[in-house]
Amino acid sequence: MKTRRLTLPDGYHLTRTLRSLLVVRHDPCGRLADGEFWLSARTPDGPGSLHLARAGADLTATGHGPGAAWLADRADAIAGLRDDLGDFPALAGSHPLVARLARTFSGVRFPATGQIFHRLIRAILEQKVTGIEAHRAYRAMVRHFGEPAPGPAGLLLPPDPAAVAATPYWVFHPFGVEQRRTQALQRAALVAARLERCADSTEATRRLTAIPGIGPWTAAEVVRTTYGDADAVSVGDFHIPNTVAWALAGEARGTDARMLQLLEPFAGHRGRVCDLLAYGGISAPKFGPRMPIRSFARF
């Protein structure tokens, strides 16, 4: 076990900063409630779990298991404390809505876990389906491959890439995952060790998008929280182009190209702007039926 004490900046928002690291409602690999956060991980030093506990302006980080030191040393990055806003306050001032949201949510930071494969599992499962379907599949997959994580929280470790790569496709079908996403998962699992050694977001994006079944959307979802990349934009998303077009230009519908054009003044923080719009509950008008919730396990 290893413990560190960190000092939080004024206005820091623990829940909003860390919520993106977990699947909503229940995540077998983590927990967030009442100023406390737990996360399990497969670190370069072995399995471990991290506990963050807030008391006023102090944050106590405690690592458990063989990976305790690695997790404790990285606790400030995982808590988003290495996220540098840089010139964003000045850039945000160019648009009144963005400026207002930047002030309202100034305490939210981008976490950087340094763990690619765990986040990649979620991102692949979230391709082309609803969040409910994807999160149901994620929980079933973690439970299937489940190994107890170190520490007293009762968490499970993220699936071992070697075990994922060696598992026949048909095992994933009852989780609600069809062959296309399963194959993308297994291709990624085969090169997981190489992915985890990527030096930065740019290298990770290049290596990820070279894997069949992984495109810009999936890569952006991964590097945003693995490396704290505040500029990563989820190109190809069903909702975000419309949200950006509506929020920044009053246009009810937008393409990826239009979204990137509108975000260009915020270069370096384009993903941050997208997140701020989500925090503020901004969404474009809806004109059609919702996407149906399905289960590939029944197909």
**Where residue 17 sits, what CATH number does that domain have?**
3.30.310.20
Is residue 294 assigned to a domain?
Answer: no
Closest CA to 112 of 243, 222, 197, 213: 222
127-133: long-range pairs with CB below 8 Å, 24+: 127/181, 127/184, 127/217, 127/218, 129/294, 130/291, 130/292, 130/293, 131/24, 132/293, 133/176, 133/293, 133/294, 133/295
The reply to whether 122 and 72 lie within a common domain is no
What is the Cα–Cα distance from 59 to 105, expressed in whole angstroms? 19
Top-confidence residue, 298 or 246:
246
The reply to whether 121 and 183 lie within a common domain is yes
Structure tokens at 171: 């095992």
pLDDT exceeds 70 at position 298:
no
Last-in-domain residue among 82, 106, 126: 82
Q: What mean pLDDT comes out for the span 99-124?
A: 98
What is the Cα–Cα distance from 16 to 109, expressed in whole angstroms? 8
Is residue 260 assigned to a domain?
Answer: no
Segments forming the whole domain that contains residue 37: 2-82
pLDDT tens per residue across span 117-158: 999 999 999 998 999 999 999 999 999 998 999 999 999 999
The reply to whether 77 and 122 lie within a common domain is no
What is the Cα–Cα distance from 212 to 25, expressed in whole angstroms? 31
Number of domains in the chain: 2
The reply to whether 200 and 123 lie within a common domain is yes
How many Cβ atoms are within 10 Å of 28's Cβ, its own excluded?
21
DSSP label at residue 63: E
pLDDT tens per residue across span 188-244: 999 999 999 999 999 999 999 999 999 999 999 999 999 999 999 999 999 999 999
The reply to whether 143 and 70 lie within a common domain is no
Is residue 183 assigned to a domain?
Answer: yes
Biggest distance spanned by C-alpha atoms of the chain: 53
Calculate the average pLDDT of the chain.
Answer: 95
The reply to whether 179 and 132 lie within a common domain is yes
Q: Does this model's pTM top 0.85?
A: yes
